């Protein structure tokens, strides 16, 4: 199991407000946690399908997903639900999420309430989100699924992580509102903590984010975004060049 090296780090609680449609909004970044149309469908389209899942799970004995921004836990829960549906008995999934401002259990429960298909899994997650938050945490959600939540600013915590992700979910708040989550240094750390031929997907198609990912070493592709959003980004880690020098 991959570990994080600063077990004493803690994070402030994330303030949440609610709009007229009962969609949660960050008081830190003044941005919604998920789309107003359908957050669960957005997760499936952007992050799961965008990373070539569940197809890539077929031949993987172990698979690692890492995420920038745990938020409401929606991405993890929808991933877990899909994983349960297709996994074989010997496979293992570890989902690692970097979160600077964890939300409370009550806010999490309210945010996840719209999706009945996630209710049993959501209850299992919420039961582990104690007050005050006990982070970092590694929770064995079932015999084949581990969840690792690492608190603190991702610019620092990803650098200290000793893992490699087969797939990244880049789900920070809007680059205009949370630019640090998309900066060149962090995108380089994401690349450096990606396994060979590993992937990323994100809802944003901001030009600076695309350039930062390309500069880090990813091959970046644009595709149609979710629910009327014009574009999103996905990509792969470029293979290391072969060394043809004489031995």
User: What is the residue extent of each domain of the chain?
Assistant: 16-237
Band the pLDDT of 22: cuts 50, 70, 90: confident
What pTM was estimated for this model as a whole? 0.89
The tens digit of pLDDT for each residue in 201-217 reads 999 999 999 999 999 99
| Long-range CB contacts (within 8 A, 24+) of 34-37 | 34/71, 34/72, 34/74, 34/111, 35/226, 35/227, 37/227, 37/228
Output the pLDDT for position 18: 73
The tens digit of pLDDT for each residue in 58-79 reads 999 999 999 999 988 999 999 9
Answer yes or no: are the C-beta atoms of 199 and 190 closer than 8 Å.
no
Instruction: Identify the residue with better confidence: 244 or 27.
Output: 27
Which helix or strand (DSSP H or E) is residue 85 part of? helix 74-86
Output the pLDDT for position 100: 87
CATH node for 16-237: 3.40.50.150
> In whole angstroms, what is the distance from residue 11 CA to residue 15 CA?
12
Mean pLDDT, rounded, of the chain: 88
């Amino acid at each position: 199991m991959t570990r994080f090296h600063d077990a004493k780090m803690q994070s402030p609680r994330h303030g949440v407000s609610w709009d007229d449609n009962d969609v949660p909004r960050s008081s830190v970044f003044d941005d919604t946690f998920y789309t107003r149309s359908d957050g669960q469908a957005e997760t499936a389209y952007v992050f799961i399908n965008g990373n070539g899942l569940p197809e890539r799970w077929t031949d993987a004995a172990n698979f690692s997903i890492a995420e920038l921004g745990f938020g409401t836990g929606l991405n993890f829960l929808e991933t877990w639900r899909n994983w349960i549906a297709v996994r074989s008995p010997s496979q293992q999934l570890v989902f690692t999420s970097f979160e600077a401002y964890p939300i409370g259990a009550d806010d999490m429960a309210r945010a996840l309430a719209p999706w009945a298909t996630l209710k049993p899994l959501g209850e299992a997650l919420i039961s582990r989100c104690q007050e005050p938050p006990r982070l970092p945490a590694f929770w064995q959600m079932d015999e084949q699924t581990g969840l690792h939540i690492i608190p603190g600013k991702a610019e620092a915590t990803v650098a200290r992580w000793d893992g490699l992700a087969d797939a990244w979910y880049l789900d920070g708040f809007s680059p205009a509102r949370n630019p640090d989550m998309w900066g060149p240094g962090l995108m380089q750390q994401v690349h450096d903590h990606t396994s060979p031929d590993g992937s990323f997907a994100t809802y944003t198609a901001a030009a600076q984010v695309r350039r930062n990912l390309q500069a880090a070493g990813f091959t970046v592709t644009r595709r149609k975004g979710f629910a009327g959003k014009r574009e999103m980004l996905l990509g792969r880690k470029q293979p290391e060049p072969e060394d043809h020098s004489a031995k």
